């Protein structure tokens, strides 16, 4: 059963979704959403994850139903440190972090700076320091015309916002106005866009810092799921990231864009479950294989369900 909870942490009110109950013999999972997202955008994936798993989807500071404040730091180091304190508050000693887009970059940082707090990683189209496709759009949003557009965008017609959502999806995805609602609702909450613009303002500095940190490889077992139609963070940059991950599996999803957890939640959940079972079994036997070409696959297209309008 999925429940909504609230927590006061360091004087900031946080909100999160929780499914299942923590147990001593199984890892917990903490989901970190991307820019403009919230815990609600993980709803399709949460519905497909095994019922006996303990899963938490956090509304990151400044997003979803969590509090916004003008003095809230939006840098990646501050966000990662805040999430670590969130784990402390919930008594989550060593969870698996599942990060999408910017949430993936935050998960990478936390795994590197506090390796004793992160059991393993699942990265969904993660932002990382080894791509520069975002540079132009960041430059635009930090300009005066870009800021005006950002602050008015939440009030644009639904059809216009659907165009933007569709651009982040692949041809296998079938988006609906209902799927847009968590994004639309999040962006309309006062303070959301200010926080996002502050985050973009330190993006290059944060990524340079993460690049420096990743000079020492991440050792935790890592699953990477990437759509081959991802326009935000192209899959061709995946190998540059994997060079800094000592134990990783990469699965390329045909026809999927930047939002695999929403576009193909059943497939995404299935890949996470099978990987976790293998990784846990291998950890017990202490023979998990290091990063190699054998740990990469392209999911056959026939295994990715086609979503037609009439389905």
**Sequence spans of domains, the chain:** 2-303
Tell me what the mean pLDDT of segment 5-33 comes to.
Answer: 93
pLDDT digits (tens, 9 = 90+) for 207-262: 999 999 999 999 999 999 999 999 999 999 999 999 999 999 999 999 999 999 99
Residue 293 pLDDT > 80, yes or no? no
Residue 120 is predicted with a pLDDT of: 96
- Who has greater pLDDT, 232 or 168? 232
pLDDT digits (tens, 9 = 90+) for 48-102: 999 999 999 999 999 999 999 988 889 999 999 999 999 999 999 999 999 999 9
Residue 217 is predicted with a pLDDT of: 95
Strands laid side by side in the 2-9 sheet: 2-9, 12-19, 54-59, 28-32, 96-100, 120-124, 218-227, 245-253, 296-298
Residue 286 is predicted with a pLDDT of: 61
Average model confidence (pLDDT) across the chain: 89
Rounded to 5°, the CA angle 53-183-138 comes to 110
Residue 304 is predicted with a pLDDT of: 52
pLDDT digits (tens, 9 = 90+) for 32-45: 999 989 999 999 99
Residue 308 pLDDT > 60, yes or no? no
Residue 291 is predicted with a pLDDT of: 52
pTM: 0.90
Looking at domain 2-303, its CATH architecture is 3-Layer(aba) Sandwich (3.40)
Residue 295 pLDDT > 70, yes or no? no
């Amino acid at each position: 059963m999925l429940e909504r909870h609230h927590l006061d942490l360091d004087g900031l009110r946080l909100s999160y979704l929780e499914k299942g109950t923590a147990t001593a013999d199984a890892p917990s999972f903490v989901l970190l959403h991307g820019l403009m997202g919230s815990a609600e955008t993980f709803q399709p994936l949460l519905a497909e994850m095994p019922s006996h798993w303990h899963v938490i989807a956090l509304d990151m500071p400044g997003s979803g139903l969590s509090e916004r404040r003008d003095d809230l730091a939006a840098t990646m180091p501050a966000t990662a440190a805040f999430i670590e304190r969130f784990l402390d508050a919930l008594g989550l000693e060593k969870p698996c972090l599942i990060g999408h887009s910017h949430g993936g970059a935050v998960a990478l940082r936390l795994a590197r700076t506090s390796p004793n707090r992160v059991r393993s990683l699942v990265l969904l189209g993660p932002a990382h320091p080894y791509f520069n496709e975002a540079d132009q759009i960041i430059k635009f949003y930090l300009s005066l015309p870009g800021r005006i557009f950002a602050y008015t965008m939440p009030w644009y017609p639904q059809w216009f916002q659907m165009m933007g959502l569709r651009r982040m999806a692949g041809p296998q995805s079938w988006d609906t106005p209902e799927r847009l609602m968590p994004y639309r609702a999040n962006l309309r909450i006062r303070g959301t866009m200010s926080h996002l613009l502050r985050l973009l303002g330190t993006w290059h500095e944060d990524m340079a810092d993460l690049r420096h940190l990743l000079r020492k490889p991440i050792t935790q077992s890592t699953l990477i799921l990437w759509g081959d139609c991802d326009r935000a963070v192209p899959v061709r940059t995946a190998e540059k990231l994997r060079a800094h991950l000592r134990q990783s599996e990469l699965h390329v999803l045909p026809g999927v864009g930047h939002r695999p957890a929403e576009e193909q939640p059943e497939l995404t959940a299935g890949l996470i479950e099978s990987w976790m079972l293998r990784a846990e079994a291998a950890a017990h036997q202490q023979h998990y294989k290091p990063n190699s070409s054998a740990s990469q696959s392209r999911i056959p297209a026939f295994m990715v369900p086609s979503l037609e309008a009439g389905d």
